[in-house]
Amino acid sequence: MKIVIPDDYQDMADQLPSYSMIRHHDVTRYREPARDLDQLVERLRDADVVVSIRERVNFSRALLERLPKLKLLALVGRNSHMIDFRACTELGIPVSTGVSNSPVAPAELTVALIVASRRNIALEAERMKRGDWPCTLSHRMRGSTLGIYGLGHIGKLVAEAGVGLGMKILVLGQKASAEKAKDAGYEVAASKAEFFERSDVLSLHVRLRPETTGIVGADDLARMKPTSLLVNTGRAELVAPGALLDALQKGRPGYAAVDVYEQEPITGGNHPFLKMPNVLCTPHLGWAEWDNFDLYFREMFEQIVKFENGEPMRLANPEVKPRA
Q: What is the CATH number of the domain that holds 57?
A: 3.40.50.720
Both 200 and 217 in a single domain?
yes
- pLDDT of residue 191 exceeding 80, the answer is yes
Query: Which is catalytic among the residues 223, 235, 299, 302?
Result: 235
Look over the chain and give the mean of its residue pLDDT values, rounded to a whole number. 96
Q: What is the pLDDT of residues 240-258, one digit of tens each?
A: 999 999 999 999 999 999 9
pLDDT range class, residue 101, cuts 50, 70, 90: confident
pLDDT at 55: 87
pLDDT range class, residue 100, cuts 50, 70, 90: confident
- pLDDT of residue 279 exceeding 80, the answer is yes
The predicted model gives 274-296 an average pLDDT of: 95
Both 149 and 23 in a single domain?
no
Query: Which is catalytic among the residues 284, 298, 299, 302?
Result: 284
State which residues form the domain around 269.
Answer: 104-281
pLDDT at 240: 98
pLDDT range class, residue 38, cuts 50, 70, 90: very high
Is 142 catalytic? The answer is no
Is 264 catalytic? The answer is yes
Both 81 and 205 in a single domain?
no
d(CA 212, CA 234): 12
Query: Which is catalytic among the residues 55, 90, 187, 264?
Result: 264
pLDDT range class, residue 134, cuts 50, 70, 90: confident
The reported pTM is 0.91
pLDDT at 11: 94
Is 205 catalytic? The answer is no
Both 124 and 85 in a single domain?
no
Please check whether residue 323 lies inside any domain of the structure. no
- pLDDT of residue 125 exceeding 80, the answer is yes
The predicted model gives 38-52 an average pLDDT of: 98
- pLDDT of residue 151 exceeding 80, the answer is yes
Both 109 and 257 in a single domain?
yes
Both 141 and 274 in a single domain?
yes
pLDDT at 135: 86
